[in-house]
Amino acid sequence: MTTPSPHGHVELRPGAYADSVTLLQVSRVVQGLPGVLAAQVAMATPLNVEVLEGMGFDVPAQATPNDLVVALRVEDADTLAGALGGVDQALRDANRRDSGPTEHAPPRTTGAAFRRTPEGLALVSVPGASAFVEAMDALEAGRDVMVFSDNVPVDQEVALKQYAAERGLLVMGPDCGTAVVGGLGLGFANVVSPGPVGIVAASGTGCQQVLALLDHAGVGVTSALGVGGRDLSADVGGLATREAMRRLDEDPTVELIVLISKPPADDVAAAIRAYAGTLSTPVEYALLGPGQPDLTAATEAVLRRLGREVPRWPVVSTRALEPGSGAVRGLFVGGTLASEAKLIADRPGNTFVDFGDDEYTTGRAHPMIDPSLRLDHLARAAADPETGVLLLDVVLGHGAEPDPAAGLAPVLAGIDKPVVVAVVGTAADPQGLARQVTALAEAGAEVHLSNAAATRRALELVGGPQ
């Protein structure tokens, strides 16, 4: 079905599915074709339809999340055929699989794949509705599993983790964005050196913040085992956290275990602290919550526990920011970073949005991969007369956007309000930490390595209490 409009085209392709990362790549390829002014190729989820309508596209009312929507705006009608051909070619290129000659047919299930592989874990990254089957298949094969998928029902998470706990297996996730296992970074992992610290994290970007700060202080990390943001909730009860702590306790290279989480359930946190008392390896805590240390303060405690010097956390700017009035507008790609900022700067009028939350990622790539939704909201927040300062995070590492400053810096350069940015990354990250910091600072932002320090600076700029 096609809806014509002047130099615009919206087309539904019922039943044509592709994952959000593939469709992001297709959209970028088509966007770069001659004469194409705008291109969005996405599944017609409610969020994506809302975004398309905000871009001025008229999406047919009968669109469903099972339909692929192709929305194009071109310079003239003559360009349209070439643009549509570009969409088809980009989809074919993205889906092409050329693994060369083989004597065996590819395995059709996770369990079948493991029967050919003597060791290893499973990384599940499928739509949340399908994740349980794949993860259970891996557990039944006797393997650990990292569930990158989000939007997995909590009862399915509990079932997976109970099954794993009974068999000494580890379920990392669901919604586990970051892990370092055997020196290999998984998901949005930063590049770190091996060292005396082992991390258990019910928080992806919280883990990355601690990794980045420890790296700046010259301290390496042996393992970082993500357990999913709900693991320390009352529903899940820390099932994966216990198994991860047990494993790190048995690792002779780990001198100190660090447990990181968004605000946990009080009784679960107490039970985990009691369990930690049975381990031979000491444990430091970075459990966010009212009255608890922020992630930077917790990292400083880790450094002192290890007998290391606490450095000054860098701040880079090319111009002095002028204090103003109004509210702090926090626009985050990291959920834990957003939670931390809200705990520090929770004042009337201030707002904090986590674009990695499930409501923003259904049918879309994570904002650390696809920044377009946040960039759209950033323009609106900058134009809001009640905005006093803009607070952002930029998270580096494997799997994340290859050059986030390339898209963000030009937008920041056109904003006439103070902008404070926390860049979370290490010196060896593929995006180039120094290059990202420099580009954002040259665009007018004040750039911090510490998210907590960036948040307090944003409060200071609008005259709020620190």
What percent of the chain is helix, strand and coil (3-state, nearest 5)?
40, 20, 40
Q: How far apart are CA 145 and CA 164, in angstroms?
A: 9
Q: Is 268 helix (H, G, I), strand (E, B) or coil?
A: helix
Q: How far apart are CA 9 and CA 59, in angstroms?
A: 10
What's the pLDDT at 61?
Answer: 85
Please list, in sequence order, all residues whose beta carbon lies within 8 angstroms of the beta carbon of residue 196, skipping any fewer than 6 positions away: 219, 220, 222, 253, 254, 255, 256, 306
Q: How far apart are CA 307 and CA 392, in angstroms?
A: 32
What's the pLDDT at 108?
Answer: 62
Please list, in sequence order, all residues whose beta carbon lies within 8 angstroms of the beta carbon of residue 33, skipping any fewer than 6 positions away: 39, 82, 83, 86
What's the pLDDT at 384?
Answer: 96
The rounded Cα 145 to chain-centroid distance in angstroms is 19
Q: How far apart are CA 303 and CA 310, in angstroms?
A: 6
Q: 112-305 and 315-461: same fold?
A: yes
Q: How far apart are CA 62 and CA 76, in angstroms?
A: 27
What's the pLDDT at 345?
Answer: 96
Is 112-305 a CATH 3.40.50.261 domain? Answer: yes
What's the pLDDT at 336?
Answer: 94
Question: Residue 106: is the preceding peptide bond cis (ω within 30°)?
Answer: no
Q: Where are the domains of the chain?
A: 2-95, 112-305, 315-461
Average pLDDT in the 270-276 region? 98
Which residue's structure tokens are 């509990």?
158
Average pLDDT in the 426-436 region? 96
Please list, in sequence order, all residues whose beta carbon lies within 8 angstroms of the beta carbon of residue 70, skipping any fewer than 6 positions away: 9, 10, 11, 13, 41, 84, 87
Average pLDDT in the 347-359 region? 91
Percentage of the chain modeled with pLDDT above 70: 93
What is the rounded average pLDDT for all residues in the chain?
90
pLDDT, tens digit (0-9, with 9 covering 90-100), for 173-205: 998 989 999 888 888 899 999 999 999 999 999
Q: How far apart are CA 165 and CA 167, in angstroms?
A: 5
pLDDT of 19 higher than 80? no
Pairing of strands 67-74, 36-43: antiparallel
Q: Is 294 helix (H, G, I), strand (E, B) or coil?
A: coil
Average pLDDT in the 424-453 region? 97
What's the pLDDT at 5?
Answer: 46
pLDDT, tens digit (0-9, with 9 covering 90-100), for 97-138: 544 455 555 666 676 676 667 677 888 988 888 899 999 999
Q: Is 149 helix (H, G, I), strand (E, B) or coil?
A: coil
* 263 or 112, higher pLDDT: 263
Tokens describing residue 429: 């990250």
pLDDT, tens digit (0-9, with 9 covering 90-100), for 223-256: 999 999 999 999 999 999 999 999 999 999 999 9
What's the pLDDT at 7?
Answer: 67
Mark out the alpha helices in 6-153 (DSSP H runs). Answer: 20-31, 46-54, 77-95, 110-115, 128-140
Model-level pTM? Answer: 0.83
pLDDT of 4 higher than 70? no
Q: How far apart are CA 247 and CA 231, in angstroms?
A: 17
What's the pLDDT at 98?
Answer: 43
Name the β-bridge partners of 332. Answer: 354
What's the pLDDT at 290?
Answer: 93
- Least confident residue range of 86-90, 389-393, 450-454: 86-90
Tokens describing residue 406: 């390339």
Q: How far apart are CA 27 and CA 86, in angstroms?
A: 10
- pLDDT confidence bin for 30, thresholds 50/70/90: confident
- Least confident residue range of 23-27, 306-310, 325-329: 23-27
CATH of 2-95, one of 3.30.70.60, 2.60.40.10, 3.30.70.1230, 3.40.350.10: 3.30.70.60
What's the pLDDT at 170?
Answer: 97
Task: Starting at the earlier edge strand, list the strands of the sheet with 2-5.
Answer: 2-5, 8-14, 67-74, 36-43
Mark out the alpha helices in 116-175 (DSSP H runs). Answer: 128-140, 154-165
What's the pLDDT at 3?
Answer: 47
- The domain 315-461: what is its CATH number? 3.40.50.261
Q: How far apart are CA 206 and CA 265, in angstroms?
A: 17
144 CB neighbour count, 10 Å cutoff: 20
Which residue's structure tokens are 């009352």?
234
Instruction: Assess contact for 333 and 355: CB atoms under 8 A.
Output: yes
pLDDT, tens digit (0-9, with 9 covering 90-100), for 314-348: 999 999 998 988 999 999 999 999 999 999 999 99
Instruction: Assess contact for 174 and 131: CB atoms under 8 A.
Output: yes
pLDDT of 31 higher than 70? yes
pLDDT of 215 higher than 80? yes
